[in-house]
Structure 1
Amino acid sequence: MRAHLARVDAVLVQAVIAAALSFAHIHDVALAAGQDGWKAWAYPISVDLLLVAAWRRLRTGPSEATGWCWFAIALTASLGANIATAGLLDLDDVPAWLRILVAGWPAVAFLGGTLLVHSAPQPDEEDSVALEERPETPAVPIPPGLIEHARKIAADHRTRTGRPIDTATLRARLGVPAPMAEAIATQL
């Protein structure tokens, strides 16, 4: 158990360092391109959130093309800023094309985020079966922590919608394969 925690801690430390460096590079490019104050700080958040949203779509959504498209766009923006700060770009004399790209990023990120959210699969209410009405499925071993997490998700769904969560939505929220979602659904 301790070896696993040490490995997780090392991964978390590395992730925090990488995120902080990338965040700073995107901020520096935005600042050099004329975006000052809070706007320069908003750029890295925008790039990273689009990257995370696209990655989540790749893991849980049916349309991989949409996820890959926006993941590639956000990754290009992040990598571009990181590489630009490596001395290849004079941050005191940013070219006009980069100023245009930075100024246009908010519209691109808004479009990408909107498409990722609004094209997300919504379970068809008439085709989905509520968990209370679910027939028995084969037993699949599920970690107790995952069951507890699923219960919280199901309770939140019922609070927000007034309906029990269906398996498709549970699967999407948990990011698990269909057989595991079925097994979890039977235990809720």
Structure 2
Amino acid sequence: MARPSAWRPDAVLVQAVIAGALSFAHLHDLAAAAGQSGWKAWAYPVSVDLLLVASWRRLRNGGPTRLAWSWFVIALVASLGANVATAGLLDLEHVPAWLRILVAGWPALAFLGGTLLAHQPRTTPEPVPAPEPSASEPAPAVLAEPAPERPEISAPEPPPHRPAPVLAAPPALVDYARKVAGEHRARTGAEIDTATLRARLGVSDDLVHVIAAQLA
């Protein structure tokens, strides 16, 4: 198993930590100059930063945009105002009364904003039901497609009857057969049979019967 890579500092993260620390210190200094001493001066920057984070998170999660943007701008103005006020433009030894009033009223304002952001219900669109067909409207008729016609298969016609060809023995073959039959009679004293005549002539069975009929 490979070991995880060593932690390396991120420039963006370092910059965010530095900016947050400076803004935190400016808010603390302004609250302390406005008459908030001890732990109360440290609670003011925490309250402003938490309101910023809560409003930004609501924006990222798709909450009410107008409400989240309003409280985000209020928290951002409080943070930027403290940074500007502590830059030498305001005498922290003699803080005006209106600034003391704003600092003193900030906890109630931040509590209201945090409560609205935390408990604002999310509106989800209700599903729209599909319209049901009314009973008065007839259902659309479905036309049945006609079945494809099957071609009729006719029985094959029998081939026309052709008469068997009549075999005719050539006259020269008949004369040769008569000569073979005479030699057989002279040698054996008996008429030649069909099988012997066929073997001597080398013809088919049908043809030898035709020849034998002519020799009779």
TM range (shorter): 0.5 to 0.7
Which residue does 1:82 correspond to in 2?
83
Length-normalised TM-score, structure 1: 0.61
Higher relative helix content:
1
Kindly state the Cα deviation for residue 123 of structure 1 after the two structures are TM-superposed: 7.2
Gaps of at least 5 residues in structure 1 are 128-188
Residues 159-187 of structure 1 show CA distances to partners (whole Å, capped at 9, x for unaligned) of xxxxxxxxxxxxxxxxxxxxxxxxxxxxx
Length-normalised TM-score, structure 2: 0.53
Residues 27 and 40 in structure 1, CA contact (< 8 A), matched pair in contact too: yes
Residues 32 and 92 in structure 1, CA contact (< 8 A), matched pair in contact too: yes
Which residue does 2:59 correspond to in 1?
58
Residues 61 and 120 in structure 1, CA contact (< 8 A), matched pair in contact too: no
Which residue does 1:186 correspond to in 2?
none
Residues 10-40 of structure 1 show CA distances to partners (whole Å, capped at 9, x for unaligned) of 0110000000000000000000000000000
The yes-or-no answer on 1:106 pairing with 2:103 is no
Residues 75-108 of structure 1 show CA distances to partners (whole Å, capped at 9, x for unaligned) of 0000000100010100010000000000000000
Query: 1:120 and 1:69 mapped to 2: Cα distance?
Result: 17
What code does the residue aligned with 2:59 have? Answer: L
Larger relative CO (CA 8 A, sep 6+): 1 or 2? 1
Residues 136-160 of structure 1 show CA distances to partners (whole Å, capped at 9, x for unaligned) of xxxxxxxxxxxxxxxxxxxxxxxxx
How do 1:22-171 residues align onto structure 2 when only pairs under 5 Å count? 22-121=23-122
State the superposition RMSD in angstroms.
Answer: 2.3
What code does the residue aligned with 1:80 have? Answer: G
Kindly state the Cα deviation for residue 63 of structure 1 after the two structures are TM-superposed: 1.1
Moved over 4 A (4+): none
**SS of the counterpart of 2:94?**
coil
Query: 1:22 and 1:120 mapped to 2: Cα distance?
Result: 32
Gaps of at least 5 residues in structure 2 are 128-216
Larger radius of gyration: 2
Length, aligned pairs only: 123
